[in-house]
Amino acid sequence: MPPVADVAVRVATRADRDRCVAIVFDTLRAYGIEPEPEGLDADVMRFGDGADGAYEIVATIDGAIVGVSALSARADGVGWVSKVFVDAGHRRRGAAKALMRAVVDEAKRRGHRRLGLQTRTIFTEAIALYEASGWTRGDSPCSGPCDRSYWLALAP
Query: pLDDT below 70 — which residues of the chain?
Result: 1-5, 37-52, 156
Domain 7-112 in CATH 1.10.8.60? The answer is no
CB 78 within 8 A of CB 112: yes
pLDDT at position 46, please? 57
pLDDT at position 66, please? 96
pLDDT at position 51, please? 54
Euclidean distance between CA atoms 153 and 21, whole angstroms: 29
